Amino acid sequence: MNSELLEHNKVTLEHVEEVRKNIQISISELVRRGKEHDASKFENPEAEIFAANNHKLAKTQYGSPEYDVLLKEVKVAIDHHYSKNDHHPEHFTNGVDEMDLFQITEMLCDWIAATKRNKNGNVHKSIEHNTDRFKLSPQLVKILRNTVDRHF
């Protein structure tokens, strides 16, 4: 093997190892987020308020006028939840624009799971609804849809 090919292989292997290291860092962050996801729901005021209203949430269609009324009824819990959980755009003054990729990934996973809890849940409808609600860019919307279609 000539020296140029050996150098190419060495440099390429170093690059591949660096990418693998970065992927492991990413995996560790997502695992941490999964373990800590919504821990505040087990604390008051969230635990008490959500426990008293879960049956209503399950029967209410996301984004409907009834859903909006219910959100007002649980506002204290919702405000606490958003303040403690950075996978919600409401956690930030400038919403999604201040989020990183890990927060957005957790947000999407949360939306997917939430659609399974709500009446007529549909993640594509949730993405559509949240596009206007959070002023999502067309590019981010497409990435979210691609991710759902390819992996969920």
Q: Spell out, as residue ranges, where the chain has pLDDT lower than 50.
A: none
* 41 secondary structure, DSSP code: G
Per-residue pLDDT reduced to its tens digit, 127-140: 999 999 999 999 99
Cα 140 to Cα 57: distance, rounded to the nearest angstrom: 27
pLDDT of residue 59: 83
Q: Indicate the pTM of the whole model.
A: 0.91
> Burial letters for 101-133: b for 16+ Cβ neighbours within 10 Å, e otherwise?
eebbbbbbbebbeebeebeebebeebbebbeee
The three-state (H, E, C) secondary structure of 67-110, written as one string: HHHHHHHCHHHHHHHHHHCCCCHHHCCCHHHHCCHHHHHHHHHH
Per-residue pLDDT reduced to its tens digit, 69-96: 999 999 999 999 999 999 999 999 999 9
- Give the number of other Cβ atoms within 10 Å of residue 49's Cβ: 19
Residue 72, amino acid: K
Taking Cα atoms as reference points, which of 52, 71, 51, 49 lies closest to residue 60?
A: 71
Taking Cα atoms as reference points, which of 100, 45, 54 lies closest to residue 75?
A: 45
